[in-house]
Amino acid sequence: MCNRFFLTSFGALYISDVQKEDALSTYRCITRHKYSGETRQSNGARLSVMDPTESMPSILDSFQSGEVQVGGSVELPCIASGYPNPTIRWLKDGRPLPTDSRWTRRLTGLTISDLRLEDSGNYICEVTNSFGSKEVTGHLNVIGTLIWDAMANHVPETCRQGDTVGQSAITCTPEPVCITVATIKDVEGNMAVIF
């Protein structure tokens, strides 16, 4: 396919700069099962291509919310139409996106790779042309995996303030009871102390 045809990560076909000759083709979706190799084909579809008329932009495909693991990647779809062709601007929590090589703006949406916890937030796709603008907001939640950073060691029956067992400090209450203090570290190295 030429560079006017795009497939989103969800399998949708997107055609930019539609031409009259695009109506001469029949379009089909062919899927292949990743384990069995079995293929299936959809019924054919044809396009009706009309001369453009000036119009406000509209959003054809968007997202509402998603949850992704730290380190993964995600595509936030935002496909718009309108004439003249609308421009697309992305905002996070009401502010323009900072410059970051992990964020790629495409005709089909925004792709974020190597996700971090701070990438969580509300993302706004704003589409604008000379006849108006539209926007859609979706929430992305990036979740991390906690890793224990403490060794399971034997805790003595009596203890003194400041004693240590392995790499864990011990805090004593007025009673001769010991509480092992452990640290939890997420995959980005952020620490939390638990008792």
Q: What is the DSSP string of 35-78?
A: TT--EEEPPPB---------EEEEEEE---EEEEETT--EEEE-
Q: Looking at 11, 34, 50, which one is the last position of a domain?
A: 50
* Helical (H) or strand (E) element with 27: none
Rama region for 189: left / alpha / beta (φ>0; ψ in -120 to 50; rest): left
* Residue 153 and residue 134 in one domain: no
The pTM is what? 0.58
For residue range 32-47, list pLDDT tens digits in order. 898 999 999 888 888 8
Cis check for the bond before 84: say yes or no (omega within 30 of 0): yes
* Residue 115 and residue 63 in one domain: yes
Which range of residues forms the domain containing residue 67?
52-144
* Residue 84 and residue 124 in one domain: yes
125, amino acid identity: C
* Residue 76 and residue 36 in one domain: no
* Residue 120 and residue 156 in one domain: no
Q: Are 111 and 68 in contact (CB under 8 A)?
A: no
For residue range 125-141, list pLDDT tens digits in order. 999 999 999 999 999 99
* Residue 158 and residue 81 in one domain: no
Q: Which residues of the chain have pLDDT under 50?
A: 1, 148-183, 193, 195
In total, how many domains does the chain have?
3
Q: What's the pLDDT at 188?
A: 59
* Residue 135 and residue 67 in one domain: yes
* Residue 110 and residue 154 in one domain: no
